[in-house]
Structure 1
Amino acid sequence: MTPEARPVTTPAGARRAALLTPGAGLYSARVAWRHSLRFRLALTYSALSAVLLMLITLGVVSLLLSRMDQQFVDRLNDRADTLAEAFTRNSGGLGRTAGGAGAYTLLIDPDGQVIAASPALRDYIDAGYPFGSLTRVPIQNTTVRAVKRQAGNFGTLWVGLPEDDLIAARQSALSALLLALVTAPLILLLTGWWVGRRALAGLEQAANLADRLDPAHSLEPLPLPAREDEVQRLLGAINSLLGRIEAQQAREKQLLGQIVHELGAPLTVLKASLQRAEARLGDPEVARAALVADELTFTTQDLMQLARGQLELKLAWHYIPAQTLRDRLDRLVPGTTFTGHWGSGILCDPDRLTQALRNLLANGRRHAGAEGTVTLDLHETPEQLCFRVRDSGPGLPPELGDQIFEPFVSGAGSSGLGLSVARQIARMHGGDLTGSTHPEGGALFTLTLPGVALSDDEGEDLADSDLLDEPPLTPAGGPGS
């Protein structure tokens, strides 16, 4: 059997349906990191913080290196000026070592010959000046930055300072910058995740509470947190929405009940009149009209059950022969093939069980067609009664699963309530209703009820009780309202 209309399931709806499946661990499940608001906030916070930190650090390091370089240049110029002044003031520097420890000096005459040098550069004395216009020269495996000054009548004074300390400081600053750029984003990400987890804990709890809501069973308001924040406002808005949904559901049930009540009486009169006309005239058109009236009567019964809800319905228990149930169903759904053991008794609400099985048989007949077959098999064990309804239709689409039992999965010639009401009635009796596709084709619905194992004495007691009395039948064997 193929349901006439297939609900569209979105990926998000499929994920939520999977979470709501029993055993899926809805409330203990953690949101995947790529779908976590905490992770996205922490990642955004970390990325922005890392960019800002990089810009600030680059600025600070650049300023620091610039100041260090300027200090080095100032020290070099100060030393060169001091030495040049010593040579020009009454030849006060003549014969002394130019500079101090760590300084490199050369005194160059107007002809370009080195006439004096610091101890590390004595090899250049009495030779031509070797460095030309270079301001950075390699000396003894180190880089030396140099400047020139006029040394009075002696010529030109060349003064250099090694850049080892400056280069080491620059490398240390760049290493610190690189380390900060590598570790800071990770630290910021972990910190943001921890802060976000604490800050959004109330939001996660609100989401878990909202996931527990089931409008079909309960619309109890959610508990509000003590702290007045966005989470409390969100839960308050949800509670307000729940109140409006509950009021709307009550109005819909009331309206549905009124509609069914208004339709029930004229349909009952119409059905009885058509049945009498059929018995008197034998006209097939009248018989077909009687079947349509019967279909409408059962539709109103399904609507009434939907309006009342399972908790508001009470079963009228009777112990009836299975053959009585079979006779009812044979009149309601002509052409049904009955197999199995129908000689036992059934403890049930006859009207409700008739309604459930009639819905299954009519559904099967609708999809099997006029030339197809519909079979109802009864199998009894000490533990349960098992009704199997099989048709020769196309079977059930495997992707729908239990969605075929949802209300208003409807289509041509159907209200979409039959399977939903049938399962509800089965569960009210302590049983269940499942559906599948038979291996040989066609739909197979299995309705189970708890078994009633009676001893001989118990059977005699029940024979004297009212439970064995068959309840009055509604017109055409249909269930009462």
Structure 2
Amino acid sequence: MTPQPRPLPPARPLEVRPGAGGAVRAAGLPSAAGAWRHSLRFRLALTYSALALLMIMLVSASVVALLLSRMDQQFNARLNERADTLAEAFTGTGQGLGKTAGGPTSYTMLVKDGTVIYASPILREFDRSPFPFGEQSRVNIQDTTVRAVKRQAGDFGTLWVGLPEDDLIAARESALSALLVALVFTPLLLLLVGWWVGQRSLSGLERAATLADRIDPTHSLETLPLPVREDEVHRLLSALNRLLVRIEAGQAREKQLLGQIVHELGAPLTVLRASLARAGERTGDAEVMRAALVADELTFTTQDLMQLARGQLEIKLAWHYIPATTLRDRLDRLVPGTTFSGNWTVGILCDPDRLTQALRNLLANARRAAGPEGTVTLDLKDTPESLTFTVRDSGPGLPTELGERIFDPFVSGSGSSGLGLSVSRQIAAMHGGSLRGANHPQGGAQFVLTLPNAALTDEDEAF
């Protein structure tokens, strides 16, 4: 039996983050549903809305101020023109008094020596009375705001002429109300428009992120398709493609180097392992037998490294339907001192070498954790749907701080190479199963490897 190389573990999505030396590392991407407030699209829309609102406020306030100023100037011009016309009528021929003063709604009074000697019909209450307004330029008459000016009317006295401001005030209030409504609804409108514009403008970047998220370095590092328009998104994707090419080249060199190292170590270790095994059988020397076990450990480590170097896509399973007892006998020879329990009378559809390698790694780790005096058990349970191998030891248990990282390559909580658990999980996945690890409530570590049950039916057996 010659165990074969193992596949690489599934990689997390590539995420390029700035750091020392421009390092590239794998990391989980945040959920889009919960990160809308952190999205570039939202920030651009918010920034666009704030800047646009500020500009609209400044422009609108300036336009409204200019409009109100022009309206005020036109009102004053109209008032002065009216006063000049009436003053000219008085200082001219003296004719037209009462005609040029306007109709019944005209605000006109002639004042001499502080007494009103003439008032238009709407101001009849002030006729022949002391002038009530003094130097006021804006007065309230019968709930109407009136702006007034004075003109000398020759020997007749001082002409007081007023003009109602109701229309001007109404226009000013309308302009301010329109400005207030615009400032209330414009931000929401701008935010919606900015979100829509940002969505269209950044659609290429979003597609690029989706494509980059699908990159799986364990399978391939295919370059991303470039957009037709050579904009910032095109430049970003081009840079990512160049990075992917460099990563793929680096991985190829690493795999080649690792494969060469494993190949150079494999042959001498095989010879050493066989020689020590024969010497141990011949002499019964405990030291020689211990050295043979170390050679076995190194041989399995090189096989794990070879599987890591070749990758999962290059591994092909050789399916066989074998009795479970055959698998148990292999494991008993590889990891002496293991206690087997459960139902070992069933058949297993698997790659015998791969499954032996996976379970051997679990048992070797358990023996290392339990120590020479500890216990290691392997229990097999079968159901119509699955076969469950449970490896349990009496050791100190798994380091809680590692969690699922215990299955990552080169992560170890027991001083080993850190490849065994990663290899075992990959082999389980290649068989359509799974591998989970946890601490048993009664102490020690427990690993559960589950495979689909492919037990032969009566019809299959007859065939």
Deviations 1:137-179 (A, max 9, x none): 1112101111111111122111111111111111111111111
Give the aligned partner of residue 477 of structure 1: none
- Pair 1:43-2:46 in alignment: yes
Report the equivalent of 1:264.
266
Deviation at 1:82, TM superposition (A): 1.9
Q: Which residue number in structure 2 is paired with residue 169 of structure 1?
A: 171
> Residue 16 in 1 paired to residue 18 in 2?
no
Greater Cα offset, 179-188 or 91-100: 91-100
Are residues 1:333 and 2:335 paired?
Answer: yes
Q: Aligned letter for 1:294?
A: D
User: Unaligned 5+ residue runs, structure 1?
Assistant: 1-9, 20-28, 462-481
SS of the aligned residue for 2:200 comes to helix
5+ long unaligned stretches in structure 2:
1-14, 18-24
Provide the C-alpha distance between the structure 2 equivalents of 1:343 and 1:368, rounded to a whole number of angstroms.
Answer: 28
Q: Does the CA contact (< 8 Å) of 2:399 and 2:413 recur in 1? A: no
Within 1, Cα distance between the matches of 2:384 and 2:309?
A: 35
Which of residues 95, 107, 110 in structure 2 aligns to 1:107?
110
Shift of 1:337: 1.4
Distance in 1 (CA, whole Å) between partners of 2:205 and 2:290 is 60
* Structure-2 separation of matches of 1:188 and 1:454: 68
| Distance (Å, rounded) in 2 between the aligned partners of 1:456 and 1:15 | 49
Judged with a 3 Å threshold, the aligned counterparts in structure 2 of structure 1 residues 457 and 129 are, in CA distance, closer, same or farther, namely closer
How many Å separate the matches in 1 of 2:258 and 2:369? 28
Are 1:215 and 2:244 an aligned pair?
no
Identity of aligned residues (%): 74
Is the 8 Å Cα contact of residues 102 and 161 (structure 1) preserved in structure 2? no
CA distance in 1: counterparts of 2:320 and 2:119, whole angstroms:
126
After superposition, residues 77-476 of structure 1 pair within 5 angstroms as: 77-94=80-97, 98-100=101-103, 102-109=105-112, 111-317=113-319, 320-343=322-345, 346-381=348-383, 384-396=386-398, 402-449=404-451, 450-453=453-456
1:473 paired residue number: none
Q: Alpha-carbon deviations, 1:93-133, whole Å to 9, x = none?
A: 55656345643111111x31111111111222221111112
Task: Indicate the RMSD between aligned Cα atoms, in angstroms.
Answer: 3.0
TM-superposed CA distance for 1:30, in Å, is 4.9
Post-superposition offset of 1:380: 4.0
Residues in 2 aligned to 1:416 and 1:355: alpha-carbon distance in whole angstroms: 15
Cα distance between partner residues in 2 of 1:234 and 1:261: 40
> What are the Cα deviations for residues 332-387 of structure 1, in whole angstroms up to 9, with x where unaligned?
22322122234555554433322211100011123334443210112345655432
* 2: CA distance, partners of 1:162 / 1:457: 107
Q: Secondary structure at the match of 1:16?
A: coil
Query: Which residue in 1 is equivalent to 2:67?
Result: 64
CA distance in structure 2 between the partners assigned to 1:191 and 1:71 by the alignment: 39
Query: Which residue of 2 is the match for residue 474 of structure 1?
Result: none
Query: Which stretch of structure 1 is more off in the superposition, 36-45 or 372-381?
Result: 372-381
**1:129 and 1:284 mapped to 2: Cα distance?**
132
Distance 1:275 1:73, change over 3 A: same
Q: What code does the residue aligned with 2:192 have?
A: L
Whichever residue aligns with residue 204 of structure 1, its letter is E
Q: CA separation of 1:14/1:408 partners in 2, compared to 1, >3 Å: closer, same or farther?
A: closer
66 and 321 in structure 1: CA distance in 2 versus 1, 3 angstrom threshold: closer
Which has the higher mean CA deviation after the structures are superposed, 381-390 or 32-41?
381-390
Q: Is the 8 A contact 1:83 1:93 kept in 2?
A: no
Structure 1, residues 249-306: CA drift from partner, whole Å, max 9, x if none? 2221111110001111222233333334444554444333332222111110110111
Residue type at the aligned position of 1:67: R
Stretch of structure 1 that moved more, 286-295 or 204-213 = 286-295
2:110·2:160 contact (CA, 8 Å) conserved in 1?
A: yes
TM value normalised by structure 2: 0.85
TM-score by length of 1: 0.82
Question: What secondary structure sits across from 1:215 in the alignment?
Answer: coil
One-letter code aligned to 2:83: A
Q: How many residues align?
A: 440
Question: 1:320: Cα distance to partner?
Answer: 5.0
- Give the direction of change, closer, same or farther, for the CA distance of 1:381–1:114 in structure 2 (3 Å limit): closer
1:458 to partner: Cα distance: 5.2
Letter in 2 for 1:55: L
* Distance in 2, Cα, partners of 1:325 & 1:393: 24
Q: Distance in 1 between matches of 2:189 and 2:326?
A: 77
